[in-house]
Amino acid sequence: MSASKSTGRVVALCGGVGGAKLAFGLERLLGNDLTLIVNTGDDFEHLGLKVSPDIDTVLYTLSGLANRELGWGRQDESWNFMKALSTLGGETWFQLGDRDLAIHVERTRRLRTGETLSAITSSFAAHFGIAAQVLPMSDDRISTAVVTSEGVLPFQRYFVERRCAPRIDSIHFERSVRARASSEVLSALGDPQLTAIIVCPSNPFLSIDPILSVPGIRAAIKKSSAPVVVVSPIIGGKAVKGPTDKIMTELGVPRTSKAIAEHYLDLIDGLIIDHSDEQEREIAGCAVRTASSLMNTDEDRVRLAGEALDFARHLVSTPQRQFGG
């Protein structure tokens, strides 16, 4: 792990659970040399509170507060607020734990005073003792909407309330064309000291594409001389998280490493695939490294993060991008 000190600055793009696990490993290795650009397309207002699911998953995961059993929210959570809300006839399809509620109430309060989501997130990260810079992809509101067999659904309605049941036709990032990347995001990606851009094993369509939809971010990644390493969310021909699998099928995307590589066509320099997908090594269409990419323990997370960083160093020494760049 001491090797990390020579790694220089690294940017990682990530969404929720799977991405946050790799982010945890990267932060252990890089500390404040890491900048995370986090999807906010899932953000929505619920019960009058501004909820930022992926930012919270990243903050909770990096600070060791995440609920590993549920895969969302905080550990050792209590649910007395929801029970009382139910008695009052309030909406209960989206569960907010008593401890978790604090971040939504405080974020909402601070946003209403005019603070940016970036400033608030940075303050929360500091209070949680997180060394990495955690940045929302934009301070402007972008909302992921899913065009389904049952009409257009806001992401959380599709994902949580409907449990991904409706068939997906396409995905939109509302207002993204008018959104701006924050100066912090552009400055992190434009840093000449940047040595790697890691795309975490998040859902490419729902977690990473919203980030890439923010005007300026894709161009900044392409402009950077740092190699882009994608950690595939596919293991053994399946997505680790159930919904990604179903969504890829419905969007007509094969659950292969090649499809992941092609998805990031003009950005990718290297792809990390799981050992179980070894047979795809040659057909992915870009530099490929195999690794154990299932992250059950903290050690798994740190090890995979180390692989990604080492791979990026290797790509620097052999700068031959397979696609675009």
- Judged by the rule CB under 8 A, the positions of this chain that interact with its own copies are 47-49, 74, 77-78, 80-85, 87-90, 97-103, 105-106, 108-109, 112, 123-124, 127-128
Q: How far is the CB of 100 from its own copies (least distance, A)?
A: 7
Q: 314, 308, 276: which is closest to 19 by C-alpha? A: 308
The helix/strand count (H/E) of the chain reads as 12, 14
Residue with tokens 């092609």: 262
Q: How far apart are CA 305 and CA 297, in angstroms?
A: 13
CB of 43 to its own copies, least distance (A): 17
Total length of the chain: 325
Helix (H, G, I), strand (E, B) or coil at 29: helix
34-38 and 9-14: which strand pairing? parallel
DSSP string, 121-170: HHHHHHHTT--SEEEESBSS--EEEEEETTEEEEHHIIIIISTT-SPEEE
Least distance in Å: CB of 134 to its own copies?
14
CA-closest candidate to residue 188, choices 179, 201, 176, 197: 197
